[in-house]
Structure 1
């Protein structure tokens, strides 16, 4: 890749960072709190300088207008009006589209509407484009009006010294066809399977070595103590010299044979060691190749969904509608094939939100909503599943119109009652539409049908719900595919199954004689956190999967069990024996009828032996069904059950607030492994907006102290000032452990204050357990 291509690759990353930051800042100011205009101005200025450095005059011209507009906002200490906000989003969209087109076109065109819109907001005296300057030398100044604060372009030190600019080698990009990546991934799996045969070769060499040693010992014993020695004594007694001579020759041959066998044994032993070393090295290299190949198969969701927000804003402009689009989680790595399958369905869902959520401006004002329709697009992983959500604050589902359409199409019989959930399921039927006319966005009734068909083809589910206080939420839930996970392999009923390592809380060996009985089910008393005793049901895995239960498969006196916690339940899963813990590629589960909900995938063991991977949530659901059928309702549980065999059905939701993606990921992983539902925000302002939007019920907040825009102290103060959040438990976590900071946090109303230097996940979980 030449220097310009490297610079463009770096600019692609940098421009995305600046644009996302500007959009996030503008969105943060929608509820009355002004954005940080100084930071927005600096972002536009940096964007202009970066465009100048890579010689992109069209981008530089638009960024220059944005910079001037934001500078005037800073100087006047005011805010953008509606038209200026629309012009800003249009300009950002045009820059994004221009940079995206650079991948396929050497000199794409920049539409003039963004410049015109910005010039319209900068009157009197619209500004002409800033004078573009190449990387090596500045061009002659143009006749444009001078900037109010002229500044030199940000020069690269390496360029000013005449050297080539330093570019991170990780920015080198290479286009690889998707089918080539998939073929490479399959080849690495085949290589791994083939290398599994090396173990048989090693075992064969070891047997040869042992056999050679045994032959040598037998030859030596035969010469010294066996029948040959007895024959020698007999011949010496008879004085037969000729026979003794022949016997001596036989002994000489035996000694030569022993020496040859010794050499053979040493050589085979040495060959075995070398083969083991080579096999280990090849296996390690194969594992590295496999990991890298699978990394190619996993790409950020942004690679497929990245342009959807821009498309939605452009479509809204064409329809003369106002829309604010918020996007979260596009940095999440997802299987490339799954993303391609979901591309059209997700786009249909977004178009549907714009079409059916849009309201007249006066209707939104009467309802107390902002002028612009707010659409949120989120990609997340929770509980081992990929969740894609599209929500809006529009008019919400028209249940009466849905019911009328359903009855007219015969989906509901006349007189048949239908609850809201049933009605919302009907909208996924092909051709179902409540629109009175067909336009470019909707009306044909196939958009949500496409969504449902694609999600079901990936063994997922889709749900449409009404949001409170207004709007609609559509959620696609899909099993993660083509991901390597730590899998615990167990045996039950003569079959091998896998369990995701994160879904297993403890491994237990229970005394069969100590098990109790309750409502026809075995129950074990287990010591839980803090010394509390839990009465947990013991469910044989073989029974859940329809296989024969072996009461004493491996041990007549003890039982091997796994403690699982999922979907608000904690229970013990009895297995015949534990086999191994391995990191394996989890492939999609095969279609297996009604039991499909039990399984989330398939793994291939050495020797090409498949094993089904259990879905902890599906197992929990099946356990709940079996317990209900056995009459073990929660009200019948023994008193004093600290954790209960049936905790409350809804999992507690924890909001993690931290500007460090590493810290957010760590805390999210810890809390989800402990059975909590986790949502994340990047700073205090983001968290406050999400809580006020009432997207979901949050039971506890874990927040960092040092964050941009609104820090942890500010977030805590804002929450305690509102009746709705005055009693919401809040834990502050910070690297600052000064007594003054701790006192300040507690004075503001923090329920706990933990320092990161002494961070211990058990302390965090125990603190959360006490507060909840």
Structure 2
């Protein structure tokens, strides 16, 4: 058995047990007459069926399909969940558990047969595990030796529960939050040091005056001579004590600064190490999907060429696991809804063989998963018809314009929405794309469906690489702080009220968006965050606004203030009544929670509430494919520390920059002179082997082909002479690492570009 096969079966073992436990718990509730969610049971059977197909367990898939059909009939009201049916369902669940156990632990012997019952008919049937899955696997996280023992063939392994790693990661995030509050203590200590300096200056003046006074008092003879001498001695001792105190305070201040910086760096390193533990290759989850799609195509009589790329990319295990079902649904749709028969494809001028592509990539510091095909493409007329039948759209009157494409395509993610004419194993139940949207939004991500040109469909899922921490733009609206994930933020700007226009009584503004003149709606942020009648916040004739984007639709949200951009721990939303645009919460420094709002959900909320404006194309830019979209500026990062290079690369990529890496000045100069890439800006360390940052800067500024490239120097040395030398050589900026703040780096780059 291959390592990938073992990992897939191990993941399926955990997943199928979770589904079985939930279904059994619901059956127990039904026996007691307690309420339970049948729709959730149906979804679990649906997911279990797809997961079984992914790991090539057709017997399990068949039983799950029968359960799915039964639960569908119960949901429709055509069948009741009586005791006999519940007993048959339990027998089917037991059969699934037996089949998975046998598949995980069987040898190469012939597969055994398990007698099960059709849960709908109560009759017996035979199921068997396929030979392809009859290889040993543990179905647990890692098979290890007992504590204190060693393996004969490898080193000692320690089995650690994933929950413990996640808990440790959460603790480290909290530690970093606590370290932020330590900055206030550092500031107070600095203030004490300033006060001590002032006291010392005052004492210098007083001391001089007293010396002069004592000198005058010592001239007369008699008993008064001894007193000034004693006073002078005491003042001298006091002066020495004060000096020692000042030196101790200064040393304490320096030690505190160094300790705080060291602790912060150590905590960040531990956090990064912990996060790396949870990163796994995408191949562990999506490795068998190519086989699954080909099997689906063969069952439906279609010839499909499957291409999968980017499986070497690494992401949080929880993120990949959460994406497994959504990606599986999209691949099924690509075959069942998109792929045509060979004769139909030839008639349209296409190749006889259909193509389905699964691609994983990193875009803007996020994991982008694309599922695309060259099939029929979305049937917009059929989508509109189904939407009208389900009450999602009002019937059009004669002369009314058709809904725009992005409006219609967003409807396919609604629960219960399906354009299939019949129900089979692959489609027709209307659950697939709603499962996709729900799963992606739980990950603080976005999902987008769009046509491909000249034909076909593309679905794009964009999620963070890790499930917890995300970069957020913190804004203020009506006295409350909100977080906006930066992946959906296009730009920040100030709007002159005089430049606002009106469309059907709503404020709008013309904005140049990637070379296109787009009329964008201007909406009070608070109006979308719960205060429906909130006015535009205007100060001195201007409004601060953030331009957000979802697909090709743009909206400008007016806020009272911009606060910060931070990478923060985003928690799931458990409370109800928070609105349909909230995707999570974060804790601020004062322990007050702030809501995180999803940019795509904000835009969808506006589209639903302003459907006539949306149908008129307000805020809609011309459709641009991902392959032809304008790339971000290219930044060359030069540093001999792999940790520093990785940190700066992640920060810059999260803001949409393309990042190149070099290990020293010589490497960077070769990359710049090769002409392989157009570099817009260089961020270089000063202290490097072979050629340091000063040498690289001098070489760039003396080369006519490179002299126009701005250079930012970063160093741990804050000596004024070094700063002056760098600026004299032509550096555009000089940033010290002791005070490194990603906001300062990004702001500096933004000014230079």
TM-score (norm 1): 0.46
What TM-score do the two structures reach when normalised by structure 2? 0.47
